[in-house]
């Protein structure tokens, strides 16, 4: 006797999904970019990925674990973006290129950027976790670039100052206080004066 079950429903209930972790991260990123992190739940992602509600828990212990993975991927992308901007440039030009790449990344990925920088995920990341490692790489690139042009003995302080400026610009734009493209601010001589 033939089974009356719905094949599509049966497929959703089976775990043979391929790379569910990757698919959940992709769907989470899309949802965060569209609607912000506050609207994302593991149940909603399971529905969007076409799997059972418990399936995401095989890869992520909870929503924060999923968000940490999304934020770590965001930092990986930021590192690639900053590295490309720095490549084969004189030190001051590299800093300017990093600044422009940073704000461009923030503008293009506003809600992912918020998850990376405006949540407690990154500051509270476990030492040695993917999120801790990737965020450290991003700041390390800025510190390295600043060390090549810094007039201070502590390039890390200079890196924090530049980061504060860039982060402030991205957040002001994200919150609707700035309407112009941020790269225009990066081109202002005052951003990198006295270096």
- Summarised one tens digit per residue, pLDDT across range 101-130 is 999 999 999 999 999 998 899 999 999 999
Give the chain's radius of gyration (CA, Å): 20
**Average pLDDT in the 185-190 region?**
76
Position 19 scores a pLDDT of 86
Q: Which two tokens stand for residue 86?
A: 């720095």
Q: Which residue has the higher pLDDT, 135 or 52?
A: 135
Q: What is residue 24's predicted lDDT score, i.e. its pLDDT?
A: 93
The pLDDT score that the predictor gives to residue 129 is 95
Q: Copy the structure tokens of residue 54.
A: 């418990």
For each of the domains in the chain, give its residue range(s) and CATH number, in order of start.
17-60 (1.10.10), 67-195 (1.10.357.10)
So what's the pLDDT on residue 130?
A: 95
Q: For residue range 6-56, what is the model confidence (pLDDT) as tens digits? A: 444 444 444 445 788 999 999 999 999 999 999 899 999 999 988 988 888
**Residue 35: CA atoms inside 13 Å, Cβ hemisphere, count?**
9
Chain centroid to CA 83: 15
Max mean pLDDT among 37-51, 139-153, 177-191 falls in: 37-51
Terminal CA-CA length for the chain = 80
121: phi then psi, degrees, rounded to nearest 5: -55, -50
Task: Quick: pLDDT tens for 70-96.
Answer: 999 999 999 999 999 999 999 999 999
Whose tokens are 């924060």? That residue is 64
- In terms of Cα–Cα distance, which of 28, 2, 23 is closest to 12? 23
Residue showing tokens 């909603």: 44
DSSP tag of 62: S
Which pTM was predicted? 0.83
Which pLDDT band holds residue 158 (cuts at 50, 70, 90)? confident
- The whole-number pLDDT of residue 193 equals 57
Contact 142, 91 (CB under 8 A): no
């Amino acid at each position: 006797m033939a089974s009356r079950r719905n094949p599509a429903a049966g497929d959703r209930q089976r775990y043979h999904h391929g790379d569910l972790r990757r698919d959940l991260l992709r769907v989470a990123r899309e949802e965060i970019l569209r609607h912000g992190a506050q609207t994302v739940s593991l149940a909603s992602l399971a529905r969007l990925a076409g799997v059972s509600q418990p399936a995401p828990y095989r890869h992520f212990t909870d929503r924060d674990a999923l968000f940490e993975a999304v934020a770590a991927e965001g930092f990986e992308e930021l590192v690639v973006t900053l590295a490309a901007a720095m490549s084969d440039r004189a030190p001051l030009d590299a800093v300017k290129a990093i600044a422009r790449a940073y704000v461009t990344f923030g503008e293009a990925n506003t809600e992912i950027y918020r998850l990376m920088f405006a949540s407690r995920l990154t500051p509270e990341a476990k030492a040695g976790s993917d999120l801790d490692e990737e965020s450290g790489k991003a700041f390390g690139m800025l510190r390295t670039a600043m060390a090549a042009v810094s007039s201070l003995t502590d390039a890390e302080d200079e890196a924090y100052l530049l980061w504060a400026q860039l982060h402030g610009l991205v957040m002001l734009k994200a919150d609707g206080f700035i309407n112009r493209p941020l790269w225009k601010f990066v081109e202002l001589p005052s951003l990198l004066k006295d270096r």
